[in-house]
Chain A
């Protein structure tokens, strides 16, 4: 398993796709920088309001899109050069290959989240936010966003493994990501929509509560873990039986 992950990491490192982890934190950095929250009512909570502002673009659009791109990409170089054939005749378990690929994408998303925190800290330093950084809020937002990407990751990996096309899983991902802007407002559908979950878990609940943000954290966790288990097992079962 360690060898598999090492090999997967090696293949990815030599491509340039991992550079995408910088895109969203950078954009969020500029959004956070330009946003003016020097209004009196935000006094003392600038960290959280900035985090909220930055989360909108990052979690509604970029996290779901990046998850799809990374999932497609770790399968792309296998589809393109007949890599599956070679990989699956190696003395390794098929299930482990699938898990290694999934861990790799999870790692990339995790790195994106960490860079996002770095962006927030730099903004706070430039703007001189109050010294006591609310680590609990930031921590749960970042971890929550990462966790909420997991069902989506499992789903996208399943689709990417099944289809040899690189574009098709991405197109599907984009099509389902765009309605996010509406769906996060829906109390009924929001929590169950895999593409909306990153935002719902990442948004710090201090400021305005709207739409699906009212859903309790417990419900969200159950939906997210349940969704992940279902998509993961379906993908794993499919991959183990797939004929190359």
Chain B
């Protein structure tokens, strides 16, 4: 069992009577990219705000780096870089000045500014006022700010929000390179499964304030149960024949489907069809996409993709 960077227990946040975050037990291991996934309004941002001490939990505890956030908040925040929802910036300052205003607080050497600027490739635009930046550039500046204090944990809330496809790709590559190159643990939230699928090693799925799945991305993929699709000449007759021979199959849109069939089971069905002189055109495996699993888990709610 590797070291836990974030561990929440029964984390709950109430706004009035509604529990926006409901008994969340989040566990993030060192060196992982933890994809925090959920539809809009599921409680992702609220959870992240509590992790960063911006909001106070109604109930439950948060431990980060083994420390209680209520007791050692500043020591924790010292090791965390964050970007919450929209990038924060001072419009009247240039990119470099923005970083300088933060650098003074973090007490890191001035050279670090050039380093983070080059990581997010803003060196050329460093002398321009940020109010003239595109959203993508602001987002990159936000990442640069988050990286400024050499954090051990990076919390990024919807970092690809509002970015164009090339910006998204860039951001993804950047995020993926962090744990390898700098040993940083990352929590990245998104409402897009494809995003998480392409970068995360661990996944936590939250919906209506509850975590409904938390494990490695491989475990999530394994849940993608497969079925075998058969295309034959006379579907109706074939289905009836199979039924009379004791094989239960599904007839959907002129195809026969075998759910969770073992190899032997599939072989027996095919054999039976051949013996009854049906022409078998195709035998295909149909895997459920992660998309469908996600929709199943979250109960087909919220606008997705």
Is there a chain B Cβ closer than 8 Å to A82's Cβ? Answer: yes
Q: Which of A77, A85, A243 is close to B84, meaning CB atoms less than 8 Å apart?
A: A85
Tell whether B237 is near chain A: CB-to-CB under 8 Å: no
Q: Report yes or no: B52 in contact with A7, Cβ–Cβ below 8 A.
A: no
Question: Any chain A CB within 8 A of the CB of B93?
Answer: yes
Whether A15 is near chain B, meaning CB under 8 Å from some CB there, is: yes
B145 at the interface (CB under 8 A from A): yes
Is B291 engaged at the interface, CB distance under 8 Å to the other chain? no
Given A10-B100, A86-B145, A88-B53, A3 and B91 contact (CB-CB distance below 8 Å): no
CB distance from B123 to the nearest CB of A (A): 20
A69-100: CB near B (< 8 Å → 1, else 0) gives 00000000100111111111111110000000
Q: Are B77 and A89 in contact (CB under 8 A)?
A: yes
Segment at the interface with A among B101-109, B169-177, B182-190, B223-231:
B101-109
Query: Is A127 interfacial (CB 8 A cutoff)?
Result: no
* CB of B92 closer than 8 Å to a CB of A: yes
Q: Is the CB of B88 within 8 A of A244?
A: no
> How many of chain B's residues have a CB under 8 angstroms from any CB in A?
32
Query: Chain B nearest CB: distance from A88 CB in Å?
Result: 6
- Asked if B87 is at the interface (CB within 8 A of a chain A CB), the reply is yes
What B residues does A11 contact at CB under 8 A? Answer: 90, 93, 101
User: Are A86 and B102 CB-contacts (below 8 A) given A10-B97, A77-B92?
Assistant: yes
CB of B82 within 8 Å of the partner chain: yes
**Contact with B54, one of A14, A91, A93, A243 (Cβ below 8 angstroms):** A243
Of all chain A residues, which has the CB nearest B81? A89
Residues 56-87 of chain B, each 1 if its beta carbon lies under 8 Å from chain A, else 0: 10000000000000000011011010101111
Give the docked Cα–Cα distance between A7 and B104 (Å): 6
A85-B84, A92-B74, A244-B49 given; A6·B91 CB < 8 A: no
Specify which chain A residues have a CB less than 8 angstroms from the CB of B105 in the assembled complex: 3-4, 7, 90-92
Q: Does B213 contact A (CB under 8 A)?
A: no
What sequence of 0s and 1s flags, for each residue 34-52 of chain A, a beta carbon within 8 Å of any chain B beta carbon? 0000000000000000000
Contact B101 A10 (CB under 8 A): yes
Query: In the complex, how many angstroms separate the beta carbon of B31 from the nearest chain A beta carbon?
Result: 22
Whether a CB of chain A sits under 8 angstroms from the CB of B55 is yes
In contact, A81 and B106 (Cβ under 8 angstroms): no
Q: Closest chain B residue to A83 by CB distance?
A: B88
Q: Which residue of B lies closest to A86 (CB)?
A: B88
Main secondary structure of the interface of A (DSSP, over half): helix
Query: Which residues of A have CB within 8 Å of B86?
Result: 82
Are B56 and A243 interface neighbours, CB within 8 A?
Answer: yes
Whether B88 pairs with A81 at a CB distance below 8 angstroms is: yes
User: Which residues does chain A contribute within 8 Å of B78, judged by CB atoms?
Assistant: 91
Complex interface: chain B residues within 8 A of A77 (CB): 90-92
Given contacts A77-B90, A82-B88, is CB(A3)–CB(B107) below 8 Å?
A: yes
A145–B84 alpha-carbon span in the complex (Å): 42
* A204 to B88 CA separation, bound complex (whole angstroms): 47
Which residues does chain B contribute within 8 Å of A14, judged by CB atoms? 92-93, 97
Chain A residues whose C-beta falls within 8 Å of the C-beta of B278 in the assembled complex:
none
Closest residue on chain B to residue A15 by CB atoms: B92
* CB <8 Å contact, A89 and B91: no
Q: Does B89 contact A (CB under 8 A)?
A: yes
The 8 closest A-B pairs by CB, nearest first: A86-B88, A82-B88, A91-B78, A7-B104, A244-B54, A243-B55, A81-B89, A91-B77
**Which B residues contact A (CB, under 8 angstroms)?**
49, 52-56, 74-75, 77-78, 80, 82, 84-93, 97, 100-102, 104-107, 130, 145
13 A-B residue pairs with CB within 8 Å: A11-B101, A81-B89, A81-B91, A81-B130, A82-B88, A83-B90, A85-B88, A88-B52, A88-B53, A90-B102, A91-B75, A91-B78, A243-B54
* Chain A contacts to B: CB under 8 angstroms: 3-4, 6-7, 10-11, 14-15, 77, 80-93, 241, 243-244
Given contacts A83-B89, A91-B106, A92-B105, 15 further A-B contacts (CB under 8 A): A7-B101, A11-B93, A14-B93, A81-B89, A81-B90, A81-B130, A82-B86, A83-B90, A85-B54, A86-B145, A89-B53, A89-B82, A90-B77, A90-B106, A244-B55
